[in-house]
Structure 1
Amino acid sequence: MAASRTDLLAWLNDLLQINYTKVEQCGSGGAYCQVLDSIYGDVPMTRVKMNAKHEYEYIANFKVMQNIFKAKKIDKPIPVEKLVKCKMQDNLEFLQWIKRFWDANYGGQGYDPVARRKGAPADPPATIAPLSTTRSGSGPNLSVAGGRSGGRTPVGGHRSGSAQSHEAVLHLQTQVKELSSHLEGLEKERDFYFEKLRDIEILVQQQIEVLEGEGKDDQTLRDIQKILYSTEEGFEVPEAGGAPIDEEETF
């Protein structure tokens, strides 16, 4: 029988000495990586951002995890695209699998999670709220409430600017809806091109592995791979400090 969310969070918080309150927070990937470290003791925790705040940092954590799976020959697909969206059901199912894997492979050895993180902060990551939450009315409703609470009608008469204030609030609500729709379009466009780049990355990696198996190389493929893995300021993945895990980036 699968463990409940409450039981899983209690186990995770006790094992890693963190303070997660929702299963969705596992979508940052940091906790999954450290659970594996509690089993093997050689995960490059210097590369894992336990307090990741952005999706690109989540993806970097899962790349570390994929390298672990490859090095340890763990035959389990990691649904990265779903997990990084921080949806409860997807992360619940994966956390249940992680718990079963831990139960089957943890040797009972002592584990100091704080020392393995070298004191790095492990604040619970913020989950990504879907844009539909804003469009459904939570943002505009708050605006209306704020406008009404600050615009009480005096006893004995109408407030002179109340009609204009209401009109201004309606205008702001319209702007919020338009911006939310625009952001949703940008997110879909980003995901569209991200998937294309990911498909290219997989094809390039597979071809390089085939050539390496034949004792050959292809500089063009190497150049494409270099472009795919290049970073810019603000998006660097921390360098590993002599970690035993294969540092080859696979996705």
Structure 2
Amino acid sequence: MSGSRTDLLAWVNDLLQINYTKIEQCGSGGAYCQILDSIYGDVPMSRVKMAAKHEYEYLANYKIMQNVFKAKKIDKPIQVDKLSKCKMQDNLEFLQWMKKFWDANYGGQGYDAVGRRKGAPMEPPATVAPVASGARSATGLSAGSARTGGRTPVGGFRSGSAQPNEAVQQLQAQVRELSSHLEGLEKERDFYFEKLRNIEILAQTQLEVLEAEHKDDVTLREIQKILYSTEDGFEVPETAPVDEEETF
């Protein structure tokens, strides 16, 4: 399958009325979802995060894509783990396939991309930078600074150094990057915790209904067992002493 990066970007930007500057930005999944919507017109675009910035938003977009592929019986594996890392080659190859699929299935009808997004702001998604690379860079920088010899005075950098300001800026940028990534991980954690909590409530409610009818459900019991299981070393004590006098 052919298609240069320049040609594919021009096609995506024109079709979706967006302003992507590099193929890697397609890794957020939003553009792929809307390309499918331009063909079928029934993708739930209200749930698609076109300006996704966090990994959990990327994964939510790919889940929508997978549902569309399943519903339309599209026999094409979606390598989410590779695409969501926003690597150029993986997304270039997938976008080439998407263009070929679009050419074969688009009916020529007009498509109001902005209208389908309901005018949602279309800031291009940021490509994800692996945290490990930033951590290694920070470590390397610190080690390099240590090897240059001597201690930095408390009041500032050693005189004669030509790199202090640049080094500080690099570290500050890494801190901002890590803080942003941490925020995304916390949101992703809360997102999946809420799902598990809803499953727990649903299972418990249904079991209470069955118990009132003197019935039971083995599957629900197994679900509860999984939800309440713990790792070795983190078991909750069967009996814990309670100090009734203790107040908080």
Q: Report if TM-score (shorter chain) is over 0.5.
A: yes
Match of 2:14 in 1: 14
Q: Which structure 2 residues correspond to residues 72-221 of structure 1 after superposition, within 5 A?
A: 72-131=72-131, 132=133, 135-136=136-137, 163=158, 166=161, 169=164, 218-220=219-221
Q: Percent identity?
A: 66
CA 18–223 in structure 1, closer or farther in 2 if over 3 Å, else same: farther
The CA deviation string for residues 50-80 of structure 1, in whole angstroms up to 9 with x for no partner, is 0111111000000000000111011111000
Aligned partner letter, 1:163: R
Following the alignment from structure 2 to structure 1, what is the Cα–Cα distance between the partners of residues 124 and 224?
38
Q: Counterpart of 1:163 in 2: which secondary structure?
A: coil
1:66 corresponds in structure 2 to 66
Q: Which fold has the larger relative contact order, with Cα–Cα distance below 8 Å and residues 6 or more apart in sequence?
A: 1
TM-score, normalization by structure 2: 0.59
Deviation digits for residues 18-73 of structure 1 (CA, Å, limit 9, x no counterpart): 00000000011000000000000000001101011111100000000000011101
**Tell me, which stretches of 5 or more residues in structure 2 are unaligned?**
146-154, 193-216, 229-248
TM-score with structure 1 setting the length = 0.59
Partner residue of 1:53?
Answer: 53
1:5 aligned residue: 5
* Displacement after TM superposition at 1:163 (Å): 2.4
> How much has 1:130 moved relative to structure 2?
3.2
How many residues are treated as equivalent by the alignment?
176
Question: In structure 1, what residue type is equivalent to 2:58?
Answer: Y
CA distance in 2, matches of 1:226, 1:36: 36
Quote how far apart the aligned CAs of 1:123 are: 1.3
Structure 1 unmatched runs, 5+: 145-159, 198-215, 228-251
Cα distance in 1 for residues equivalent to 2:2 and 2:130? 27
CA distance in 1 between partners of 2:67 and 2:120 (Å): 21
Q: Where do 1:224-235 residues align within 5 Å?
A: none
Cα deviation, residue 115, structure 1: 0.5
Quick one: distance in 2 between partners of 1:224 and 1:67?
29
The 8 Å contact of residues 27 and 86 in structure 2, kept in 1 or not, is answered as yes
Root mean square deviation, CA, Å: 4.1
The equivalent of 2:205 in structure 1 is none
Q: Counterpart of 1:43?
A: 43
For 2:74, the aligned partner's letter is I
